[in-house]
Amino acid sequence: MGGILYGFVLGLLFHFLISSTDDHSMELLLTLTIPTAGYVFAEVLEVSGPLAMVVSGIMIGNWTRQKGFSKESHQNLDHFWELIDEFLNGVLFLLIGMSMLLFEFHKEDWVLMVLAVPLVLTARFLSVRGTYIGFNRFRKYNPMSVKILTWGGLRGGLALAMALSIPTGIMVIPEKNIDVKELIMVMTYSVVMFSILIQGMTITPMIEKAKTLEPEEEEK
């Protein structure tokens, strides 16, 4: 909760700072300050840095992008952050891949890797289905949307970043001397890999199939 609140305040502050200038370089520097200095300050406050960055990023990427940035800055900022996003995602996958090489795998790890995917998909389905039932009372939706939103919940950079940010040795299973961080990273890595390789490659055909359904078929 602290990370979400901090991210909201941070996003609000930088929205007004960015809105107050028309200098393209200053706007770019301010967007760089949020994930760097903002994350460090989140650590000082002992709140979740990744969650704070997600909240502030949503605010800046939507609210500020529409009302705060000058029109000339849009294209330059989009190209800049697309490049940064691709580069940092690559570094993140490299870091967790190297971390996995240092782990001593136990048979429990393989069991967790297999169980993690259906557990995450089940949790995703329940959350989407519950929301669907609630909103469907006021507005009719295509029932196929539940399947698409469940299967299309792709996971990647944020999940890996949060797993890597867990301090080593903060919780250990004494009977087997296993660091819980290792278990979380193993589960996260398996879910992310399944999400990218399987869900990512099959979600488009699922959406295309939903588009071809006739209205009477959608209601069944």
Whether 125 contacts 146, CB under 8 Å: yes
Predicted confidence at residue 68, as pLDDT, reads 63
For the CA atoms of 43, 47, 53, 54, what is the dihedral angle to 10 degrees? Answer: 150
3-state secondary structure of 173: strand
d(CA 47, CA 51): 9
Nearest to 99 by CA among 170, 175, 174, 188: 188
Report yes or no: 58 and 10 within 8 Å, Cβ to Cβ. no
For the chain, which residues make up each domain, given as ranges?
2-91, 103-218
Structure tokens at 202: 């099959």
pLDDT digits (tens, 9 = 90+) for 56-110: 888 888 777 777 666 667 777 878 888 888 888 788 778 777 777 777 777 777 8
pLDDT digits (tens, 9 = 90+) for 148-203: 888 887 777 777 777 777 777 777 766 666 777 788 888 888 888 888 888 888 88
Q: Is the pTM of this model over 0.75?
A: no
